């Protein structure tokens, strides 16, 4: 009985996998490099000692489009791209290395899709910024995951600030450091480190949430 269940689970997961692949191939909106891909690299790969323009670990610098595509990316073929192999690697082969967290499945597929689409420097038309109905889960969390948790999570988070969960984000919302750092206010370290300032819309979304008392909604 157990074996049958196991087999069934296997078949179901293959079906689900195929369904996902299909959807993936049918993707009609090209991935936007500036908004979707660059922040993943900057947040997860450019920590000190890693792939920033000072440390250049293994010769990889992953802070700008030009640097990213210069090594380890085969446009149109994600599977043969060294960078893709590294982010899905196992154990010591995996990037980012421990103690930094692995990329999420969503971040990995975003990068794969972008490579498959030709690894172009796509920018996107910014839709109007909607700051009504701002919530932590829908509005703030995705920005934090995309731009901050590469450094601010894991067993030794940068600045001893962990954004793995709500509590850490709430703490810096309350003590003023979150807004201070993302608006590059005087007296705070500008964040995200090594990267461009967040877009005006992303800052506005976070500000709205902070002004509402930074609720866990
Ligand atoms: C590439 C790594 C990296 C990324 C990405 C990053 N941080 Fe940081 N952050 C650090 C480091 C290192 C420190 C501690 C040293 C310092 O304050 O400069 C820090 C410190 C901070 C502080 C304390 C600042 C202060 O003045 O005390 C806050 C708040 C913060 N980060 C928020 C964020 C937010 C929000 C994001 C995403 C929008 C982010 N960080 C992205 C590396 C990073």
pLDDT tens per residue across span 193-210:
988 899 999 999 999 999
In the reported structure, the alpha carbon of residue 158 is separated from the centroid of ligand 1 by a whole-number distance in angstroms of 7
Can the peptide bond before residue 192 be classed as cis, meaning omega within 30 degrees of 0? yes
Cα separation, 71 vs 202, whole angstroms: 30
Average pLDDT taken over every residue of the chain: 87
pLDDT at 35 over 50: yes
Q: Does the CB atom of residue 46 touch ligand 1 within 6 A?
A: yes
Is the pLDDT at 58 greater than 50, yes or no? yes
Q: Of 135, 134, 167, which is closest to residue 153 (Cα–Cα)?
A: 167
The burial class, CB within 10 Å (0-12 / 13-18 / 19+), for 200 is exposed
Give the distance (Å) from ligand 1 centre to CA of residue 159. 6
User: What is the 185 CA–ligand 1 centroid distance (Å)?
Assistant: 13
What share of the chain has pLDDT > 90, as a percent?
69
Of residues 177, 152, 193, the one with CA closest to residue 206:
177
Dump pLDDT digits (tens) for 41-55. Answer: 999 999 888 999 888
d(CA 208, CA 134): 7
CA distance to 29, 79, 106, per residue, from 143 (Å)? 20, 27, 14
Compute the distance between CA of residue 153 and CA of residue 138 in angstroms, rounded to an integer: 20
- Is 146 near ligand 1, meaning CB less than 6 Å away? no
Structure tokens at 197: 């300032």
pLDDT at 20 over 50: no
Task: Match 């920590």 to its residue by tokens.
Answer: 47
Q: Give me ligand 1 centre to Cα 123, in Å.
A: 25
Question: Are the C-beta atoms of 108 and 115 separated by less than 8 Å?
Answer: no
CA distance 179 to 171: 12
- Report the phi/psi class of residue 119: left, alpha or beta, with left for phi > 0 and alpha for psi in -120 to 50: left
């Amino acid at each position: 009985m157990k074996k049958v269940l196991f087999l069934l689970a296997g078949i179901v997961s293959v079906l689900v996998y195929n369904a996902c692949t299909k959807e993936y191939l049918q993707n009609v909106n090209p991935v936007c490099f500036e908004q979707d891909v660059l922040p993943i690299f900057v947040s997860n790969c450019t920590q000190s000692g890693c792939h920033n323009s000072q440390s250049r670990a293994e010769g990889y610098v992953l802070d700008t489009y030009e640097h990213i595509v210069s090594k380890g990316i085969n446009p149109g073929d994600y599977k043969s791209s060294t960078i893709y192999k590294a982010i899905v690697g196992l154990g010591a082969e995996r990037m980012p290395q421990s103690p930094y967290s692995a990329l999420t499945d969503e971040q990995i597929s975003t990068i794969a899709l972008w490579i498959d689409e030709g690894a172009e420097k796509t920018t996107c038309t910014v839709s109007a910024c909607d700051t009504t109905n701002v919530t932590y889960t829908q509005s703030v969390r995705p920005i934090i995951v995309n731009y901050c948790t590469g450094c601010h999570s894991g067993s030794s988070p940068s600045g001893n600030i962990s954004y793995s969960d709500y509590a850490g984000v709430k703490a810096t919302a309350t003590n003023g450091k979150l807004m201070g750092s993302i608006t590059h206010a005087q007296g705070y370290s500008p964040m995200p480190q090594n990267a461009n300032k967040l877009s005006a819309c992303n800052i506005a979304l976070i500000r709205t949430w902070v002004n509402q008392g930074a609720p866990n909604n």
